[in-house]
Structure 1
Amino acid sequence: MITSPIWLPAALVGGVTQAWRTAIQRRVSHSLSLNAAGLVRYLYGLPFAIILLGGYRLLFAGPFPRPDPMFLLFCLGGGLAQIIATNLLIMAFAHRNFVVGTAYSKTEAVQGALLSFLLMGERLSPLAWAGIGCGVAGVMLLSTGGKRMGPADFLKALGQPAALTGIASGFFFALTAIGIRRATQEVGSDDAILAALIVLVATLALQIVMQGGYLLLRERGEIARVFSTWRISGQVGLLSALGSACWFTGFATAPVALVRVVGQIEVAFTLGFGHFYLGERIARSEIMGLLLVGGGVIMALASAL
């Protein structure tokens, strides 16, 4: 059920900032361990999330909601799923290039559609499902990394570590979206943006406890490195907070699958960042994949009208 048209610009802006943040975070991952690279987005993102929540409250004063106790449980579940998804995505980068790693994770759109139907009863129109299929076909074409592949080669590629970790990442990102949507519903506010920002602050705080606690127990030496990279990690935190605020607002106002299929436009920005920021080449097949992703987004938008 769509409760506000704000989900559309939120999904588009979320796609831009996420692509930018992922590009920068990949550079951070070169000097940090897997878990430390994941921690920076939560640790450095929380101050910016608090600023966003405080600023919004100053501009739009009103009674502060009293969330249901289940609110924290959904924040915890969504936050843990996002930690796992992020770590899997960083692992995918280690096997293939930046664009391909992100492309595999974008199977999240179809996984999210199925999971949201099974767990939340969210139904989509045939046109929306066609848009999801078109978008997934596009990201799968992008996953070839510009290589010419027959059906047998493609099926074989799906068994490679990059594919398995990327698809698993998409699964946990889909669970993240469902957990966050449920958390915003438990906040008890008619203001979707306020609910999204409250969930964002709570989720980031819980993620810092979870992943930070893991580092204290298992990788204590990485903690000093997390703080020593504050210049670039601060950029990751800022973009992560802005992007998550947009995604959470989208989840609070529209079905998970619809937000995510529009958010696939991130792949276009990922190609741009991969080419201009990281120096990766764009193949002709990747352009075709991009057109399919764009077609999927258009069909999803048409289904919402």
Structure 2
Amino acid sequence: MPLWIAITIAAAFLQNLRSALQKRLKGRMGTTGATFVRFGFGLPFALLYLTVVAKLGGEPIPRPGVETLVAAFFGGLAQIGATFLLVYLFGFRNFIVGTAYSKTEPVQAAFFGFLILGETVSPFGLLAVVAGAVGVILISIGNARSGSIVRGLASREALIGIASGALFGASAVCFRAAALALPEGSAALRAAIVLCMALVIQTAAMLAWMAVADRDELRRVVKAWAPGLLVGLVGASASAGWFTAMTLQKVAYVRALGQIELVFTIASSILWFRETVTRLELLGAAVIVFAILALVVGA
């Protein structure tokens, strides 16, 4: 099994855990605060990770150029917007559906990958990406009372989720571009550097915003430092996995395989949040598993 596959599956599991923890935080703070903890509390762990990777590998840390800085900057801002929309979406529908809408990301990542990096996917890979998107659609409408595909896809939740997926896709491609633009270093070291750069940008931007526009939210974040640290640790670990996998492989493939997170999400929804799962949602999960298996075999 290629290394990027194992890393992606681990990252998807950790990301699902981080999203579940963020959903829990929504009761203690607003959307802005629940978004910030992923970045602000994750930064110390990312810096520690970079130090360990550099020491174990015996590699010097390369100096980022302008291309890396610009790509990391725009990737960081796009990821803030994507995370904000995803956390905001949790307030409208259940945990499964909120995550499912954002999982239109692989199709959009394939588009951004071609547009920004000129990367293409094989016909077999494209089939897996599209099949995964079909599974996402089934999950997205599975919780709708009417069961109407048109209503499900035209709803406010769908539009917010699709926008979140677009921003996630754009940020992922930017982060891959930033890592590939570094002059030297192993995949793990490049990923760790870009992760730290992104988190510094994201932490500074969100701290500045809350200090100026929402100081009450900043106080709520400080009071919730203990669960915030847990979210930061899990989030930084997931991001380290995503960044490493996307340094090794095209973003469209990594994000398509990452849809296995929805299988973990269904388990969390049933066992943790005690939410009801419909037959369409289960069917959608089965289609996503099929798409993942096709992608793994094709890889």
Q: Residue 156 of structure 1: CA displacement?
A: 1.8
Q: Residue 62 of structure 1: CA displacement?
A: 2.1
Q: Residue 97 of structure 1: CA displacement?
A: 0.6
Distance change >3 Å, CA 148–CA 225, structure 1 → 2: closer
Q: Residue 148 of structure 1: CA displacement?
A: 7.2
Aligned counterpart for 1:23 among listed residues 20, 24, 35: 20
Equivalent residue, structure 2, for 1:115 = 112
- Are the aligned partners of 1:105 and 1:170 in contact in 2 as well (CA < 8 Å)? yes
- Are the aligned partners of 2:7 and 2:245 in contact in 1 as well (CA < 8 Å)? yes
For residues 89-113 of structure 1, the C-alpha deviation after alignment (integer angstroms, 9 at most, x for no partner) is 1121111111101000000011111
Alignment-mate amino acid for residue 34 of structure 1: T
Equivalent residue, structure 2, for 1:50 = 47
Alignment-mate amino acid for residue 301 of structure 1: V
Equivalent residue, structure 2, for 1:192 = 187
Q: Give the whole-Å Cα distance in 1 for the aligned partners of 2:245 and 2:181.
A: 16
TM-score by length of 1: 0.94
Equivalent residue, structure 2, for 1:175 = 170
Equivalent residue, structure 1, for 2:153 = 158
Describe the SS at the equivalent of 1:265: helix
Aligned positions, number = 299
- Are the aligned partners of 2:105 and 2:255 in contact in 1 as well (CA < 8 Å)? yes
Question: What is the correspondence of 1:85-104 to structure 2 with a 5 Å cutoff?
Answer: 85-104=82-101
Segment of structure 1 superposing worse, 210-219 or 294-303: 294-303
Q: Give the whole-Å Cα distance in 2 for the aligned partners of 1:36 and 1:296.
A: 35
Q: Residue 66 of structure 1: CA displacement?
A: 2.0
Q: Is residue 121 of structure 2 the alignment partner of residue 124 of structure 1?
A: yes
Equivalent residue, structure 1, for 2:248 = 253
Could you list the runs of 5+ residues in structure 1 that have no partner in the other structure?
none
Q: Residue 145 of structure 1: CA displacement?
A: 3.5
Describe the SS at the equivalent of 2:183: coil
Q: Residue 200 of structure 1: CA displacement?
A: 0.6
Could you list the runs of 5+ residues in structure 2 that have no partner in the other structure?
none
- Are the aligned partners of 2:61 and 2:185 in contact in 1 as well (CA < 8 Å)? no
Describe the SS at the equivalent of 2:244: helix
Q: Is residue 139 of structure 2 the alignment partner of residue 142 of structure 1?
A: yes
Describe the SS at the equivalent of 1:212: helix
Q: Segments of 4+ in structure 1 off by > 6 A?
A: none
Q: Residue 16 of structure 1: CA displacement?
A: 0.2
- Are the aligned partners of 1:125 and 1:303 in contact in 2 as well (CA < 8 Å)? no
Segment of structure 1 superposing worse, 201-210 or 271-280: 271-280
- Are the aligned partners of 1:95 and 1:161 in contact in 2 as well (CA < 8 Å)? no
Q: Give the whole-Å Cα distance in 1 for the aligned partners of 2:40 and 2:72.
A: 16
Alignment-mate amino acid for residue 113 of structure 1: A
- Are the aligned partners of 2:142 and 2:279 in contact in 1 as well (CA < 8 Å)? no
Describe the SS at the equivalent of 2:21: helix
TM-score by length of 2: 0.96
Alignment-mate amino acid for residue 91 of structure 1: Y
Aligned counterpart for 1:298 among listed residues 271, 293, 296: 293
Q: Is residue 236 of structure 2 the alignment partner of residue 238 of structure 1?
A: no
Q: Residue 185 of structure 1: CA displacement?
A: 1.1
Q: Residue 227 of structure 1: CA displacement?
A: 1.1
- Are the aligned partners of 1:135 and 1:296 in contact in 2 as well (CA < 8 Å)? yes
Q: Give the whole-Å Cα distance in 1 for the aligned partners of 2:149 and 2:52.
A: 49
